[in-house]
Amino acid sequence: MDKNVNLVPVEIYGQTYNLRGEGDTSYITDLAAFVDRKMREVSDNTATVDSLKVAILAALNIADEHFQVKGAQHERHRGTTQRLQRLVELLDRALPGKKEA
């Protein structure tokens, strides 16, 4: 189980963190940059200067985005499943020799 674990220094909201991760270090860097951007957006749009509050509000914004994307994917999947079921029903009716259950 020899995995390639990297130590990646990143800066988030003015603080440097040394993060450990497997694989591509640019992925970790991109994640940190995303969190940094979210925290700065929150900071720019609120009156709070407390970094903990900024981090919590940024985390809530990220969670909201995640849940919205997840919900949209679920709706697309549900719609696709319904369409496939209708197609199967149409094929079952159209194909000769289909035995009715």
Say what the pLDDT of residue 60 is.
Answer: 97
pLDDT tens-place string over residues 29-83: 999 999 999 999 999 999 888 999 999 999 999 999 999 999 999 989 999 999 9
**b/e 85-100 (16+ beta carbons within 10 angstroms → b):** eeeeeeeeeeeeeeee
| pTM of the complete model | 0.72
Q: What is the pLDDT of residue 96?
A: 81
